[in-house]
Amino acid sequence: MSESLSQTFLAITRNEGDLQWLQTALAPLGQVVGAGSGSLDEMLALVDVTFANLVFIGLDRDHVVNQCALIEGVLEAKPMLAIVALGDGMDNQLVLNAMRAGARDFVAYGSRSSEVAGLVRRLGKRLPPVTTNPHLGGLTVLYGTQCGSDGALLALHLGEVVQKSGQQTLLLDLGLPRGDSLALLGLESSFHFGDALRHLRRLDSTLIDSAFAREPSGLRLLAYAAGDEALERTSAAELYMLLSALRQHFQHIIVNLTGQADSEALRTFVSHCDKLIWYTDQNVIECRRNLEVLNTWREKGMNLEHAKLLVDRYLRGVVPDAEALGKRFALPVLTELPSSPEVRLNSRNQGLSLFELAPRDNLTHALKTLGERLARRSENLKPKANNWLTRLWGNKNEQ
């Protein structure tokens, strides 16, 4: 995970509106992840995979006993964790119950963003520094608003280059249209993104070897299926669990998210990754769509220091040029990829890699160079098996 984006807060709130209020208030400081049902096992597992050091837990009169028991259970297992209770600021009994259970502070729903952020900053000065797992593999996200098979085509070739560098690599293809990476290679798979979410407890090396699609270089593929739920319906907590599990088995994961609409799930990927490659071309209409999302994220305070611009199908002498686009997006330009329409079309139609079909083409050379740059970022990362999934599901399996 990018160190500049490593601060993550967990929260259990009354409803989605309260979670959005908290996310808006703390956007400049980090990401707030909804902790789902709030069971103790799942909460502790999320603390492990997000490295959160501060948790918000909502209290209400009807469930206060169970909610306070959760606070006590979390602190018993993680005594260095800070818990802030949420609730009706006019209910003194809730405040007293929260403090007795071990909460560091109490915040009333609807408090001003500056008050919430100020409290978190003050608590942060007294908390242990956020740690990260050195054994998690690298994570690169390719994102742009434009739908089409080009996103899958580029991500596939980048993944192949990183795989050939000797690193275990996964292409997580969640771009739209769905499943284009498999179609480009003429591959079929019976195991998809939705299956991985449903079988999180079984996601080990045996399942990966037997169920994940594989192309000739050894690159593994996990793609969107037609029947999988829309990305925006996937919770941030589920994605954190999945990504953390996958990053323990792969040195590098490349995620294609081109064509996806803005959502909390999309922002989770963006906040979780080491490198964000913003995909666009010189089409002014598409640039406007991209800028709308980019500006929304900036207004919400999202940290985008790890983002760089990739300009695809680049035509020199046509405006806007790469320099102008970089200024307009306020992002450094990572690279410009040549158009090479005939080579792209032949690759799609023949189901062959550009490295086989046109090894000397400028597009092939540019993708090879970019893939090698990505590989250098994660060449020293060695995924190490972790037992957090065993801890999460062990009690359930024993029942």
Q: Per-residue pLDDT tens for 148-194?
A: 999 999 999 999 999 999 999 999 999 999 999 999 999 999 999 99
Give pLDDT, residue 130.
65
Residue 184 lies in a domain: yes
Q: Do both 220 and 314 map to the same domain? A: yes
Mean pLDDT, rounded, for 352-356: 95
Q: Do both 236 and 268 map to the same domain? A: yes
Residue 273 lies in a domain: yes
Q: Say how many domains are in the chain.
A: 2
Domain boundary among 94, 126, 158: 126
Give pLDDT, residue 393.
45
Q: Do both 269 and 161 map to the same domain? A: yes
Q: Which range, of 142-146, 156-160, 302-306, averages the lowest pLDDT?
A: 302-306
Residue 389 lies in a domain: no
Q: Do both 214 and 83 map to the same domain? A: no
What mean pLDDT, rounded, does the chain reach? Answer: 91
What CATH number is associated with residue 234?
A: 3.40.50.300
Q: Do both 151 and 94 map to the same domain? A: no
In the structure encoding, which two tokens stand for residue 328, read together? Answer: 């307009």
Sheet of strand 275-280: strand arrangement: 213-214, 220-223, 169-173, 252-256, 138-143, 275-280, 307-314, 333-338
Q: Do both 120 and 144 map to the same domain? A: no
Packed helices 40-50 and 64-77: angle between N→C axes, nearest 10 degrees: 40
- φ, ψ dihedrals at 333, nearest 5°: -85, 120
Domain holding 317, by residue range, is 138-378
Inform me whether the pLDDT recorded for 392 exceeds 60: no
